[in-house]
Amino acid sequence: MDLTQIEPRVLWKNFSALNAVPRPSKKEEKVIEFIKTFGENLNLPTTVDEVGNVIIRKPATSGMEDRKTVVLQSHLDMVHQKNSDVLFDFETQGIQMEIDGDWVKAKGTTLGADNGLGVAAMMSVLESTDIAHPALEALFTIDEETGMTGAIGLKPGTLTGDILLNLDTEEDDEIDIGCAGGIDVTASQTYNLIKPDGQIMMISVKGLQGGHSGMDIHKGFGNANIILGRLLYTGLQNQNLELISIDAGGLRNAIPREATAVFSVRHSAEFTADAIALKKEIMEEFASVEKDLNISIENYSSHEKGISAEDSAKIILALKAAHNGVYRMSPDVADLVEASNNVARVELKDGSLKIMNLSRSSVESSKYAVAEQLKSVFELAGMKVEFSGSYPGWKPKPGSDIVKVMESIYEKEFGSKPAVVACHAGLECGIIGSNYPEMDMVSFGPTIRGAHSPDERANIPSAQKFWKFLQEILKNIPKK
């Protein structure tokens, strides 16, 4: 079945049109032009600010002129992840989608429902002629996934709205009123190259499910970089292990699914026996959550140079010591991860090393506690450490007028109470709120699973529920 034949048709029509446009983070030129043209073709005031955010304004419908102005907000970019056996170019190709029962998914890549369904909903409201709504400012931000530079670059005074509806969460029974901030922690070093002295070997870790490094960090999923580090650690005590290359993990905000290391060892048979024994233990550890985990340990052939056993040991020990996963649960909000770290990317090539992390927390002090602990580990290993891309969290306002309106609508329309929550993902509300402190903000969205991984999928009945909920909210915005 064609996606445009499922309900609500207008939502899936716009999502399909959006997904035909390449839109990886930091390379959003095509999708910026797409949304700009969309607004102009509707004869609505459309602007693009200096960083690339698109703002489309639409007047209130008849009888809604006395309501507060609403900012609808979603981000244009998407995480670009694919399975290793899939040939796909995110910069030139549109996402190839299919229907699987009650789910829409992509063929071997991320789907882009995060945050494409939010964008599609905004497009649908903007082009509608029969949806009651107050004056609207539709804010389409760029680069949310790899730096939030769109939200950071949004200047004070650009928006005039009183209420912001962020359409970027992934559980349809939740109303989100707070989120975590984040900071990138990057360790790097350059090492002298030597000719390897031993048997060349390769370890690869594949088949992990990955996932969102904020929303999924507490679920016990395997991190390919950490598993690889554990296997390499077995060679430190009795072997002259010399690293040649590491290609592990990917984007900072995705839990790593795959990792590969090439290295030399003095006694390959002994190392292999130890590593296979550890492999068995790891497979048993993750048997219930990582059913497709595959670890291979094999002899290999390479003419590349490596780095010394001493330098190799420093890298492996740092990987072993670097914190990964939940750092602290919130003492104030039940079941909320307060602080965490994702060891996201490890790259060693021609003696040049980078280890990239994304640390998150809803509390600034513990965000820096995580980052500084990582910095300490990496500096003890002789690496240089840089902090970058810091952004604030979003402090909850549980009693705000818009939250009360949404709770009432949800209970009336769906027969149960929504969960009013804060999340461990990074939403743009905290950044935008720093320039618009008086603006009421709330986030909600349809159910999406496997975000930031090729398993990403969007629930069709949930999208119908989300679309109905959004329309009812717009009809019931409070008066000025």
Residue of 28, 77, 290, 440 marked active site: 77
In three-state secondary structure terms, 369 is helix
Pairing of strands 259-265, 199-206: antiparallel
Residue with tokens 């004070």: 156
Q: Is 144 assigned a catalytic role?
A: yes
403 in helix, strand or coil?
helix
Report how far residue 32's alpha carbon sits from residue 23's, in angstroms, rounded to the nearest whole number: 9
Q: How many helices (H) and strands (E) does the chain have?
A: 11, 21
Task: List the one residue out of 100, 75, 6 whose CA is nearest residue 445.
Answer: 75
Pairing of strands 103-106, 457-459: antiparallel
173 is catalytic: no
| Rounded CA separation 42/126 (Å) | 8
Pick the closest to residue 324 from 337, 345, 343 (CA basis): 343
Residue 477 has which token pair?
């915005």
* Residue 69: closest CA among 428, 439, 472, 443: 439
C-alpha separations of 369 from 33, 61, 91, 148, 180 in Å? 41, 49, 37, 22, 14
Q: Please tell me which residue in 144, 162, 290, 456 is annotated as part of the active site.
A: 144
With beta carbons less than 8 A apart as the criterion, state whether 133 and 126 touch: no
Residues with a catalytic annotation lie at: 77, 144
